[in-house]
């Protein structure tokens, strides 16, 4: 449903309640998502972002509820990722005279995606486009999260269109944060940050500083996914600053896979050691867990304890992806340890420790390896591992 979010500013996007996988199958979206596009009707008409192309007819229908799409004068592409640029071809067919406003990097990325002879209007930080009574001002935001990302700020109404920053994969009945379930909203905002923006924390902090120093009044933050932050919009900015600092909570995560339950029993014993010291924690069996939920929990936790049996002198294949995430996402301030069972060769624990070192996770205890099924003595060693990690979490 088209929703007016400011004076002559309309949400004309699409709620995709059924979406469960994003980025191909890289990211789970268990609460769906929205592709937010914003139509601004002033003396000139602007469209900020489009939607993923399977939904282009819905986008056009939503725009037509407000105005003939042929009357669009300015199209802003805040970055070229296809969930927002996918309907550009349809829009530019309807409004071929429109200025297509992009960042410098956007010329390359949009050109590379669509190979169309569009005439780009290239802008950088400090540039603006007049819509008549109001202006759209632009702020480049490289690598938040694409190289071409930029924000747009609507003067007069003081709305910051923040591209993917401050967004959530969260389909909702209503468009604004004050009408969303606050627990779900923050779970999704954190999942989004942890899975997508973790590597860019320093840039997040610098960009927030830059925007604060511009002294722009901000009455709403309108991201490209999820709800619009209208009630106390700076609350999500403050949360982003906290998340960018990556100060972990005093909690732990134990993640493992298992073949014949030996490593599972070890994981549970590690958990008992953590519990004895009163450290909150969760156990995730990676064969049946959502990888992105695990990443979010790693983001929150100070300690990451990983277990795998040895298979073919290495790890079970369900463990390897999360180790790659641990390295690739660049988590900071983490401590960790490893454990695992084996039959005839026992490389898994050492291999996990090597991954932890590569990921700059500080080892706080030697790993525990157990041959065949653990004895009560072995399980006590695992509990001891949990206690040692717990002490480091609480130190
Ligand atoms: Fe939601 Fe970077 O696209």
CATH number, domain with residue 30: 3.60.15.10
83 close to ligand 1 (CB < 6 Angstrom): yes
Do 198 and 293 lie in one domain? The reply is no
**Is 145 marked active-site?**
yes
| Structural domain of 216 | 3-245
CA dist 49 and 36 (Å) reads 7
- What is the pTM for the complete model shown? 0.96
Write down the catalytic residue from 62, 84, 145, 281.
Answer: 145
Residue with tokens 């056009």: 60
Q: How many domains does the chain have?
A: 2
Ligand 1 centroid to 186 CA: how many Å? 18
Query: Does the annotation count 42 as an active-site position?
Result: no
**Claim to verify: residue 204 and residue 304 sit in the same structural domain:** no
Confirm whether 25 is a catalytic residue: no
Domain identity same for 144 and 49: yes
Last residue of a domain, one of 245, 274, 303: 245
Q: What is the pLDDT of residue 99?
A: 97
Q: How far is the CA of 352 from the centre of ligand 1 (A)?
A: 32
Last residue of a domain, one of 245, 279, 295: 245
CA distance 209 to 272: 43
What's phi and psi for 228, nearest 5 deg?
-90, 130
- Asked if residues 177 and 222 have their Cβ atoms less than 8 Å apart, the reply is no
* 225 in active site: yes
Catalytic residue of the set 49, 140, 157, 164: 164
- Which residues are CB-contacts of 181 (< 8 A; sequence separation ≥ 6)? none
Residues 266 and 218 in one domain: no
Please give the number of the atom of ligand 1 that sits closest to the Cα of 164: 1
Out of 200, 219, 245, a domain closes at 245
Mark whether 159 and 25 lie in a shared domain: yes
User: Is 115 in the active site?
Assistant: no
DSSP string covering 130-161, please? E-SSSEEEEEE-TTSSSTT-EEEEETTTTEEE
Query: Are residues 270 and 241 part of one domain?
Result: no
CB < 8 Å & 24+ apart, contacts of 260-263 = 260/373, 261/373, 262/309, 262/341, 262/370, 262/372, 262/373, 262/374, 263/307, 263/308, 263/309, 263/339, 263/340, 263/341
Does ligand 1 come within 6 angstroms of the Cβ of 284? no
* Predicted confidence pLDDT, tens digits, the chain (395 residues): 999 999 999 999 999 999 999 998 899 999 999 999 999 999 999 999 999 999 999 999 999 999 999 999 999 999 999 999 999 999 999 999 999 999 999 999 999 999 999 989 999 999 999 999 999 999 999 999 999 999 999 999 999 999 999 999 999 999 999 999 999 999 999 999 999 999 999 999 999 999 999 999 999 999 999 999 999 999 999 999 999 999 999 999 999 999 999 999 999 999 999 999 999 999 999 999 999 999 999 999 999 999 999 999 999 999 999 999 999 999 999 999 999 999 999 999 999 999 999 999 999 999 999 999 999 999 999 999 999 999 999 99
Q: 227 and 329 in one domain?
A: no
131 and 219 inside one domain = yes
Same domain, 110 and 72: yes
Do the bridges between strand 301-307 and strand 249-256 make them parallel or antiparallel, or are there none, so unpaired?
Answer: parallel
Within this chain, do residues 293 and 376 fall inside the same structural domain, yes or no?
yes
Please report, for the domain that includes residue 364, its CATH number: 3.40.50.360
Pair 113, 80: CB distance under 8 Å: yes
Whether 49 is in the pocket of ligand 1, judged by its Cβ within 6 Å, is: no
Position 119 scores a pLDDT of 86
User: Is any atom of ligand 1 closer than 6 Å to the C-beta of 118?
Assistant: no
d(Cα 248, Cα 253) in Å, to the nearest integer? Answer: 12
The answer for residues whose C-beta is within 8 angstroms of residue 312's C-beta and 6 or more apart is none
Query: What's residue 21's pLDDT?
Result: 96
148 lines ligand 1 (CB under 6 A): no
pLDDT score, position 236? 98
Does 113 qualify as catalytic in the annotation?
no
Task: Say yes or no: 329 and 195 in one domain.
Answer: no
Which position among 169, 225, 281, 355 bears the catalytic label? 225
Q: Do 163 and 301 share a structural domain?
A: no
């Amino acid at each position: 449903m088209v929703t007016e979010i400011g004076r002559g500013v309309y949400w004309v996007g699409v709620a995709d309640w059924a979406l469960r996988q994003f980025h191909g199958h890289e990211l789970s979206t268990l609460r769906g998502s929205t592709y937010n596009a914003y139509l601004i009707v002033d003396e000139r008409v602007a469209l900020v972002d489009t939607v993923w192309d399977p939904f282009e007819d819905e986008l056009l229908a939503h725009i037509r509820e407000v105005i003939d799409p042929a009357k669009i004068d300015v199209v802003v592409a805040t970055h070229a990722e296809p969930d927002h640029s996918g309907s550009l071809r349809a829009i530019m067919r309807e409004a071929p005279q429109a200025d297509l406003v992009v960042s410098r990097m956007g010329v390359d990325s949009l050109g590379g995606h669509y190979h169309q002879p569009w005439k780009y209007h290239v802008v950088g930080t400090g540039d603006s486009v007049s819509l008549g009574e109001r202006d759209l001002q632009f702020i480049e935001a490289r690598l938040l999260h694409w190289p071409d990302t930029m924000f747009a700020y609507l003067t007069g109404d003081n709305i910051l269109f923040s591209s993917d920053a401050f967004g959530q994969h969260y389909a909702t009945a209503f468009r604004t944060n004050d009408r969303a379930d606050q627990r779900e909203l923050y779970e999704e905002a954190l999942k989004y940050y942890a899975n997508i923006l973790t590597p860019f924390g320093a840039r997040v902090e610098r960009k927030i500083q830059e925007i604060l120093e511009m002294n722009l009044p901000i009455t709403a933050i309108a991201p490209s996914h999820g709800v619009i932050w209208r009630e106390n919009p700076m609350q999500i900015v403050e949360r982003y600053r906290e998340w960018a600092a990556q100060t972990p909570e005093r909690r732990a995560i134990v993640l493992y896979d298992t073949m014949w339950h030996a490593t599972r029993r070890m994981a549970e014993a590690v958990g008992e050691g953590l519990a004895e010291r009163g450290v909150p924690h969760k156990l995730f069996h990676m064969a049946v867990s959502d990888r992105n939920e695990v990443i979010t929990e790693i983001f929150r936790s100070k300690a990451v304890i990983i277990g795998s049996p040895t298979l073919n002198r290495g790890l079970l294949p369900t463990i390897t992806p999360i180790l790659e995430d641990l390295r690739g996402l660049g988590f900071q301030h983490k401590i960790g340890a490893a454990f695992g069972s084996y039959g005839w060769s026992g490389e898994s624990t050492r291999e996990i420790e090597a991954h932890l070192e590569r990921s700059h996770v500080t080892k706080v205890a030697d790993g525990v390896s157990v041959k065949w099924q653990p004895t009560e003595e072995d399980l006590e060693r695992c509990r001891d591992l949990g206690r040692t990690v717990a002490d480091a979490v609480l130190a």
